[in-house]
Structure 1
Amino acid sequence: MRTWKVEVRNFRLQIEEQLEASPSLRSFLQEIFVKQYRNGRKLFLTASDLDAKLIPETPDFTLEQALDEDWLP
């Protein structure tokens, strides 16, 4: 379980570095947030074999939460 937490933190750090280098990407990220959540949901459901009803079709968290290094759903 700890492995995925390290991966999430690493991805968040990479995203933060990109946003610091190009602040205008933040608005783009906000625009694609829901679409990319849905894409990630599809991949997760395929990998996990869970019932799709268990995972919300739209995020029940904000982009800010997703980027917060201390937040986990």
Structure 2
Amino acid sequence: MTIKVGDLVRGQSNEIMSATYIGKVIEKCEETVHILILNYAPTDRFTVHELMRRILVNSQQLRTISLTK
């Protein structure tokens, strides 16, 4: 499934974030995706604040999520 601007995605933990997070795609450039972080683990609160709730990640680290069953 391809990721598009406006999609809700779940990001894996990585070098920056210690746990999974949920975000909205702001911009997509080839393999890199710019994410607005919407939901994150309490342990990442200072990291998210430093990032101003935005993160750039490789699209292979993301999975789209749906709000409907």
The alignment's TM-score, normalised by the length of structure 1, stands at 0.29
Greater relative CO, 1 or 2 (CA 8 Å, sep 6+): 1
TM-score for the superposition, normalised by structure 2: 0.30
Larger Rg: 1
More helix as a share of residues: 1
